[in-house]
Amino acid sequence: MKITDIKVYKVKPRWIFVKIITDEGISGWGELISGTKTETVVACAYEIGKRVLIGRNPFEIERLFQQMHRSFFRGGPINATIVSGFEMALWDIKGKALNVPVYELLGGVARDKIKVYSWIGGDRPSGVLEQAQDRINRGFDSIKMNATEELHYIDTIEKVDSVIERVSILRENFGNKINIGIDFHGRVHKPMAKVLAKELEQFHPMFLEEVVLPENYEYYKTISNLVSTPLATGEREYTRWAFKKIFEQKAIDIIQPDVALCGGILELRKIAAMAEAYDMAVAPHAPYGPIALAATLQVDSCTPNVFIQEQSLGIHYNKGFDLLDFVKNKEIFEFKDGFVNIPKKSGLGIEIDEDYLDEIAKEGLVWTNPSWTHYDGTIAEW
């Protein structure tokens, strides 16, 4: 079997899908992260794909990963997401060719079902009580919310109080029947991070996520020593080498690698195995499109220290579109009682509606992150 072509699709609202085509009629799907550099990612995907993949054996996943990853100036999120997208497409091809789900090629299932959580509140969190009730009505017992809107280096106690009020109202109405993950989203600088973390401890969060920006990771240890709440991070890290510093620091309790950024399916599995050696849990990041989520479920199925999975059906940043819009076998994303079943179909287990994909891709994609400022006009973290 040889790779004969690649196709890249820009898909609303903010997704980039890749298709690897072979000479035996078997194709594989992958997904890239757009961010604010869609055209750069697409151009680079064609450059790497045509230079490395065309004419190659798609079964040689590790060899192709190494060739795509290794260069004198390596790394960076653009190269990482391109390698990740192509890598998951290669696994999709191999699983389909051998007529097995990808997890069967990675050691087989390690669990019976996968626990999931649902987002509430939005970017500037509001309406959390109503949204949490909706998720409970739909069978979820775990939710995650942004802690706060933008916070300056030193900000007002009023903003801190608003965070406490939002979390408090959930505990008052639902008690400990729901698990609450709280995402600082890197919006909180070091001086305010310790204030918020300490104030939130009383509500026993499931975890606090990205309490500071990952480039300030040395402060994870300070927060870890301050509170008993589990700390989580990892959505902006890529490859096992970037995660190495987190493991060695021994401050983080939960890592959150993203299959569409960290290097793909096998790289996510390797990172999770390293975490297991440090007695750390895994909660993979997956707020993007259906292919990335399907690929993540394959890793979840065979990875014992994954304890919960993010899902983004109809919510989060996918405004105007649902993951199911592009999927024929919609049962792959059926969530019941806070769980999703192990996928059964071969490859990634997902069947893409190519006719609808072609239609939407013709409209193009212009995605940009929100741009926020503080009260004094300085640029805020989003």
> Rounded distance, CA 370 to CA 382, Å?
7
Q: For residue 256, which of 224, 233, 229 has the smallest C-alpha distance?
A: 233
Q: Which of 69, 189, 285, 316 is catalytic?
A: 285
Query: Is residue 189 annotated as part of the catalytic site, yes or no?
Result: no
Report the amino acid identity of residue 53: L
Determine the Cα–Cα distance for residues 354 and 371; give it in Å rounded to an integer. 33
Select from 39, 117, 45 the least CA-distant residue to 81. 45
| Contact criterion met (CB below 8 Å) for 34 and 15 | yes
* Side-chain half-sphere CA neighbours of 325 within 13 A: 20
185 is catalytic: yes
- Tokens 């220290």 — which residue? 305
d(CA 22, CA 292): 21
**Token pair for residue 268?**
């996510």
- Scanning the structure block, which residue is given the tokens 């193009």? 364
In this structure, are residues 345 and 320 in contact, taking their beta carbons and an 8 Å threshold?
no
- Which residues neighbour 225 within 8 Å (Cβ) at sequence distance 6 or greater? none
Active site residues: 185, 285
